[in-house]
Chain A
Amino acid sequence: MLASDDDILSRAEAWKGAGKGVAIATVIETWGSAPRPVGSHLIIDEDGNFLGSVSGGCVEGAVVAEAADVIADGKPRTIEFGVADETAWRVGLSCGGRIRVFVERVD
């Protein structure tokens, strides 16, 4: 099992090396009781396979969906979770925390 976020970055390199489109999502800010610390990574490939986590599983699905767009157009973006009403995002963090996630393509 891949334990640390660092191992996950090695895997992102391996996926890219194998010819896959790959995106890296990174928790860049947290407020309140966010489940995963700043710097945590989730990596996603073009087929929707993913590894690592940016939350306790609450928002991974949404990040994976966003990553597909990032892999397609190459534009990095920052998405925020946990303020369900004020954003376009339906998903929220049940723990009451908020997180901001930066998603970028490996080029």
Chain B
Amino acid sequence: MRLDLLKILNEERAARRATVLITNTQSGEQRLVKGADIAGDALAEHLDAALRMGKSRSIEVDGQTYFLTVQAPPARIICIGAVHISQALAPMARLADFDLTIIDPRTAFATPERFPDVRLLAQWPQEVLPDLRLDRYTAVCLLTHDPKIDDPALIAALRAECFYIGALGSRKTHARRVERMMAEGFAEADLKRIHAPIGLDIGSVSPAEIAVSVIGEIIAALRKKPLRAEPKA
């Protein structure tokens, strides 16, 4: 491996950016594709699939064997709202290997007693999200029911093209949310990416059951190709 490629690989990983190193295992020839350049690459389909699974793998193209060293940033979940659902979501996220952060400026909700061993930020989303650097490997769950708290995070999540954005609330609540976002200049197509009401439709009742449906929906968004994803009813 060329030292310059190794350096870029290490730099990109530190910056939480996706990268794939392509090695021809017969000739030893190598090249590196940064996440932002994948769409235009000849092997785009293979690279995208490997990144989505977050796994290195061998592929065969035109009789040549290539090894893809895949560096996908670990997927994160950011919950806006230190609410009951978030309390149930926290241990589930840990089990499923997601890196979880909970944000809620309401200090009565965001207490370490309610959220042991969770990264908890008792601040407004607009204060802390710039430092968290939302990206394609981040899921954002809006759980406060309060536009004052949820909306700034929603705007940031839409701009960052987060792989998953879910929002709690009835269809009526969501319709008003969509109107507010259109007023912010987002197109209808952008807003279709919001999963609302949040969670897979499994008839969840309790906060823990809703948390299961949310984790399930996040995993589906991460692992399934957009084209194969079933449209929400």
Q: Which A residues lie at the B interface, using CB under 8 A?
A: 6, 9-10, 12-13, 16, 24, 26, 28-29, 37-39, 75-76, 78, 102, 104-107
Quick one: which of B6, B58, B70 has the most chain A CB within 10 A? Answer: B6
Question: Once the chains bind, are A106 and B23 in contact (CB under 8 Å)?
Answer: no
Provide the residues of chain B in CB contact with A104, threshold 8 Å: 1, 23, 28
- 19 A/B residue pairs, CB under 8 Å, sorted by A: A6-B13, A9-B9, A9-B13, A12-B6, A13-B3, A13-B7, A16-B3, A28-B58, A37-B55, A38-B56, A38-B57, A38-B58, A39-B57, A75-B28, A104-B28, A105-B1, A106-B2, A106-B3, A107-B1
Question: Once the chains bind, are B28 and A28 in contact (CB under 8 Å)?
Answer: no
Question: Once the chains bind, are A39 and B6 in contact (CB under 8 Å)?
Answer: no
Interface residues on chain B, size class:
10 to 19
Provide the residues of chain A in CB contact with B69, threshold 8 Å: 26, 39
Q: A26-B69, A39-B55, A102-B23 are in contact. List 9 more A-B contacts (CB 8 A).
A: A6-B13, A13-B7, A13-B10, A16-B6, A24-B1, A75-B28, A104-B28, A107-B2, A107-B3
Bound-complex Cα distance A23 to B70 (A)? 19
The 4 closest A-B pairs by CB, nearest first: A39-B56, A76-B28, A28-B67, A10-B10
Provide the residues of chain A in CB contact with B57, threshold 8 Å: 38-39
Provide the residues of chain A in CB contact with B170, threshold 8 Å: none
Provide the residues of chain B in CB contact with A75, threshold 8 Å: 28
Bound-complex Cα distance A78 to B26 (A)? 8
Q: Closest CB of chain B to A99's CB: distance in Å?
A: 12
Task: Name the residue on A nearest B50 (C-beta).
Answer: A39
Question: Once the chains bind, are B71 and A6 in contact (CB under 8 Å)?
Answer: yes
Provide the residues of chain B in CB contact with A105, threshold 8 Å: 1
Task: Name the residue on B nearest A14 (C-beta).
Answer: B10
Provide the residues of chain A in CB contact with B2, threshold 8 Å: 106-107
Task: Name the residue on A nearest B29 (C-beta).
Answer: A76
Q: Mark B184-205 against chain A: 1 for CB-CB distance below 8 A, else 0.
A: 0000000000000000000000
Chain B residues 1 to 36 lying within 8 A of chain A, measured CB to CB, are 1-3, 6-7, 9-10, 13, 23, 25, 28
